[in-house]
Structure 1
Amino acid sequence: MEEHVGQPPECMRMVLFEEIYLLKRLLEDLKGTVDGLLEFVEGRVTSISQDVEALTDVVNIKIDAITTDVRLLKRAVVSDTANNRPSSSKVKVPKPKPFGGARSAKELKIFLWDMKNYFQAAKVPDGEKVFITIMYLVGDAKF
């Protein structure tokens, strides 16, 4: 600078030194602020990482519990399905006698009682009982 403009006056030199000193102070303050922000961000990242690990542990515990429940339910369904399968060793349920429409309350009661017991022993679903009962009506009872 001195080569191009010449020697600056002493007061100008003092101002320049003061400005340079102030700039150095500002840079040091800025560096301190940046360092403080860096420490704060690192602390938050560490805290968040710990929170994520804790949540991951909780989620894994929940997943394990749900998996266990699903396994138990599968076993129960398989067991229930196996118990309801028809097998050749089960007793054959005798079919009820058909009802011909006799005008006797006693015969009607016997027929209805037989049908009820047949449905219970054969484990017939409710939706099929009426149709099966109709198949056991003969003669005038069909009308």
Structure 2
Amino acid sequence: MSSNTKARVTVLENILGVPAKGEQISVCDRLDALSAETAVIQNEISDQRDVVLIHVEELADALDAQGSVARETQSQLETKIALLNRAMCGLPREGEVATKVKVPKPKPFNSARSANDLENFLWDME
């Protein structure tokens, strides 16, 4: 047997495994068995990939739902904060008109400045 043939046989034995003593299986049969095992493994991997993809899609949907709930909650909280800020600053709400109460200024005292007149003025006010 040439060295090239020995090298090839060694490569095949590494791939297929060393035959047991007295085993009479051809290389083609061993390659077919290995191919069948590979196909089974590929199918299992494909099935597992499909399961993982389904779980990933479910998680993405759940995250989207949680994100929309969080955005809605944030919007409600921002509205409450804006109302609280307006209340603290005394600003009117949307659509309301700010009303100011007019308080008249006191009239100046325009009469004589005697103590009797002042006392009479004060008694009249009671």
> TM-score under structure 1 normalisation?
0.48
Q: Which runs of 5+ in 2 are unaligned?
A: 6-23, 92-97, 110-126
**CA deviation digits over 1:41-72, x for unaligned, max 9?**
11101101101111111111111111112222
Give the aligned residue type for 1:17.
D
The residue that corresponds to 1:97 in the other structure is none
Could you tell me which of 75, 83, 88 is aligned with 1:73? 88
C-alpha separation in 1, matches of 2:80 and 2:54: 39
**Pair 1:23 & 2:38 matched:** yes
AA paired with 2:29? M
Equivalence for 1:35: 50
Percent same amino acid among aligned pairs? 11
Say which SS state the counterpart of residue 60 (structure 1) adopts.
helix
Counterpart selection for 2:29 from 14, 19, 25: 14
**1:75 & 1:45 partners in 2: Cα distance?**
44
Q: CA deviation at 1:75?
A: 2.5
The count of aligned residue pairs is 83
| Counterpart AA for 2:83 | T
How many Å separate the matches in 1 of 2:67 and 2:90?
A: 34
Secondary structure at the counterpart of residue 91 of structure 1? coil
Alpha-carbon distance in 1 for matches of 2:46, 2:39: 10
Relative to the length of structure 2, the TM-score reads 0.53
Aligned-residue CA RMSD in angstroms? 3.2
Distance in 2 (CA, whole Å) between partners of 1:69 and 1:93 is: 42
Q: Secondary structure at the residue paired with 1:65? A: helix
Deviation at 1:92, TM superposition (A): 6.3
Residue in 2 aligned with 1:52? 67
Q: Partner letter of residue 60 of structure 1?
A: S
